């Protein structure tokens, strides 16, 4: 193998592997290095997302939701089941199969795009030179006209509750449990806390979530956050806000967590404790001291809008750079960089990166919240539509939640769309497309939506922005 490439990508997560594939499609000679090893000690492409994040979590969310719906909704459909139960080992096996299919799929995609796939460690020595350490420890210097750093992120540890891999675990540990803990504690009511908390709650755990902030889901529209909290409480999740953890200690079979809230010092005893307080960028042993690449005080590689690091032909994408830590944001950055390298036009519109929380009801949004627009001083109007007025949602036995559109009062441009309800993560795609084309609520109003579909809720919310909703009284 020649050691000279047009592009060397370090990291094959959802930011790195699309960068490598697009570079291959652009007829560039490309190599992608990845060091991820799964619990069986085997290398696997796909990074956090495919191995320990998006994909395995969604597999367990789906299984646990089906179980929960069988328990709580089937009777309403007139479906009778005998004694309902589940086999956690089978659920975990299904999840592992989905992960395997996804990660091995990347090997095939690399082949098809002509990407040289390298397993092992990559390190930027200087512009144009990457040191590659293979599985057997042998080292080689690869010459690269361009280098893309896509090394992702790892869970943030909490000093007062250090991971022990057994009782105090991270999100990966929480996806791998082989028994349902009777009492599950979670530190952090963020996306991971809510998704994985939902999985184990539906399977029977008593779930308590300790959140340091006094507000719930501060990044979401507050009307959505309020509605979501109501449903999580109904599911039986005990979410304690304003809880500042001062220590956690595993003792015998249990973990005891000390925290302070506005009532004073409290103790929570659980069987497993998941620490999900965010993730931090990962650059360990990535940059030689004189590589010239700058890392900010929080550990992110510094880049401009087009993911240039400031060192000639060295780029960085995904969780290791600023912006939301989301797979699709990383993917768009990876593809953009590979296109820029090939001298094609490319950009990422950071204003239309959607967020989805895959709970039930699902939560999804794009653009600004009502609170952000109000704070900006811009005059706005709101159009909303509840799923209980949607025939399709009622037929699905899923009437909870609503669609809310925030639009500029003067130009009618859509500024943000917020959905809590069935398939919110799918419905938000229409809003993303609308905002990508700077659509107005009138554009959505004039777009035909099939009946009966959940997407009609978006149509009706757009109509409601001008008090023209048909299927719900206008206010
Ligand atoms: P990563 O996926 O972390 O990949 C980086 C890769 O680089 C890894 O394989 C790593 O081993 C490798 N690497 C690091 N350093 C080196 C080196 N020096 N040499 C060689 N290889 C190296 N996001 C969503 O958008 N939707 C979701 O539903 C979602 N669910 C999630 C659920 C969980 C439980 C978690 C933890 C995360 C979830 N995320 C989700 C976030 C998502 O996983 C990340 O945003 C995404 O994986 C970031 O992609 P990345 O390519 O930047 O980094
Ligand atoms: P997060 O930032 O979503 O939530 C962390 C929560 O922990 C916050 O609410 C924060 O206030 C709280 N917190 C921080 N320190 C604390 C402390 N000491 N005590 C109590 N609470 C504390 O982070 P996460 O849930 O760990 O997820 C990490 C990343 O992974 C996120 O950036 C997210 O975007 C991504 N992710 C995305 C999805 C998805 O897109 N559906 C799913 C899972 C993870």
| Domain boundary residue, one of 227, 262, 277 | 277
Q: Give nearest CA residue, ligand 2 atom 38.
A: 191
Q: Which phi and psi (to 5°) does residue 473 adopt?
A: -60, 135
pLDDT at 1: 58
Residues 246, 366 within the same domain: no
Q: Is the CB of 212 under 6 A from ligand 2?
A: yes
Residues 29, 128 within the same domain: yes
* Residue 417 counted as domain residue: yes
Is 323 within 8 Å of 339 (Cβ atoms)? no
Q: How far is the CA of 258 from the centre of ligand 1 (A)?
A: 31
Q: Is the CB of 149 under 6 A from ligand 1?
A: no
Q: How far is the CA of 200 from the centre of ligand 2 (A)?
A: 17
Residues 12, 142 within the same domain: yes
pTM strictly above 0.95 = yes
pLDDT at 134: 97
Q: Give nearest CA residue, ligand 2 atom 17.
A: 212
> Residue 431 belongs to a domain with what CATH number?
3.30.390.30
User: Nearest 10 degrees: CA dihedral of 320, 321, 325, 327?
Assistant: -80
* Residue 125 counted as domain residue: yes
pLDDT at 387: 98
Q: Looking at 360-407, list the stretches that DSSP marks H as alpha helix, in order from N- to C-terminal side.
A: 370-376, 391-395
| Residues tagged active-site | 451
Residue range of the domain that includes 63: 4-154+280-348
pLDDT at 151: 99
Residues 422, 327 within the same domain: no
Residues 14, 141 within the same domain: yes
| Domain boundary residue, one of 324, 348, 372 | 348
* Residue 245 counted as domain residue: yes
Domain count, the chain: 3
Residues 191, 78 within the same domain: no
Q: Quote the radius of gyration of the chain (alpha carbons, Å).
A: 24
Q: Is the CB of 207 under 6 A from ligand 2?
A: no
> Residue 271 belongs to a domain with what CATH number?
3.50.50.60
For ligand 1, what atom is nearest to the CA of residue 319? 52
| Domain boundary residue, one of 299, 332, 348 | 348
Q: How far is the CA of 155 from the centre of ligand 2 (A)?
A: 9
Residues 312, 359 within the same domain: no
pLDDT at 348: 98
* Residue 161 counted as domain residue: no
Flag residues of the chain having pLDDT under 50. Answer: none
Residues 258, 299 within the same domain: no
Residues 27, 136 within the same domain: yes
3-state secondary structure at position 426: helix
Residues 235, 366 within the same domain: no
Residues 143, 208 within the same domain: no
Residues 319, 263 within the same domain: no
pLDDT at 241: 98
């Amino acid at each position: 193998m020649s050691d000279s490439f047009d592009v060397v990508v370090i990291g094959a997560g959802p930011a790195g592997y699309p960068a490598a594939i697009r570079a291959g499609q652009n007829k560039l000679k490309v190599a992608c290095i990845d060091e991820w090893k799964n619990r069986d000690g085997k290398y696997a492409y796909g990074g956090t997302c495919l191995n320990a994040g998006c994909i395995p979590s969604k597999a367990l969310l789906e299984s646990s939701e089906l179980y929960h719906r069988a328990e709580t909704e089937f009777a309403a459909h007139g479906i009778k089941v005998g004694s309902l139960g589940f086999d956690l080992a089978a659920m975990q096996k299904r999840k592992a199969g989905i992960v395997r299919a996804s990660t091995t799929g990347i090997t095939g995609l690399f082949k098809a795009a002509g990407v040289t796939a390298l397993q092992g460690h990559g390190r930027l020595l200087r512009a144009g030179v990457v040191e590659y350490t293979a599985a057997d420890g042998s080292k080689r210097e690869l010459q690269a006209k361009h280098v893309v750093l896509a090394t992702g992120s790892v869970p943030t540890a909490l000093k007062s509750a250090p991971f022990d891999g057994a009782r105090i675990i991270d999100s990966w540990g929480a996806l791998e449990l082989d028994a349902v803990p009777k009492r599950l504690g979670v530190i952090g009511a963020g996306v991971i806390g809510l998704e994985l908390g939902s999985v184990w709650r539906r399977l029977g755990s008593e779930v308590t979530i300790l959140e340091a902030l006094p507000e719930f889901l501060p990044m979401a529209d507050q009307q959505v956050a309020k509605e979501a909290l109501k449903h999580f409480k109904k599911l039986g999740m005990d979410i304690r806000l304003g809880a500042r953890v001062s220590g956690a200690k595993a003792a015998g079979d249990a973990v005891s967590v000390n925290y302070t809230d506005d009532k004073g010092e409290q103790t929570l005893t659980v069987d497993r404790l998941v620490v999900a307080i965010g993730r931090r960028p990962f650059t360990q042993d990535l940059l030689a001291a004189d590589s010239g690449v700058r890392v900010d005080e929080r550990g992110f590689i510094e880049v401009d809008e087009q993911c240039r690091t400031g060192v000639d032909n060295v780029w960085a994408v995904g969780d290791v750079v600023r912006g939301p830590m989301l797979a699709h944001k990383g993917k768009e950055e990876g593809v953009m960089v590979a296109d820029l390298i090939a001298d094609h036009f490319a950009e990422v519109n950071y204003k239309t990166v959607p967020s989805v929380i895959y709970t039930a009801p699902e939560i999804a949004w794009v653009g600004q919240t009502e609170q952000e627009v109000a704070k900006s001083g811009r005059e706005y109007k709101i159009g909303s539509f509840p799923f209980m007025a949607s025939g399709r949602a009622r037929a699905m036995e899923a009437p909870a939640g609503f669609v809310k559109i925030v639009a500029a009062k003067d130009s009618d441009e859509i500024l943000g769309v917020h959905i809590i309800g069935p398939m919110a993560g799918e419905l938000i795609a229409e809003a993303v497309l609308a905002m990508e084309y700077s659509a107005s609520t009138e554009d959505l109003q004039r777009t035909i939506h099939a009946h009966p579909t959940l997407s009609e809720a978006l149509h009706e919310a757009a109509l409601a922005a001008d008090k023209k909703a048909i299927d719900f009284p206008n206010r």
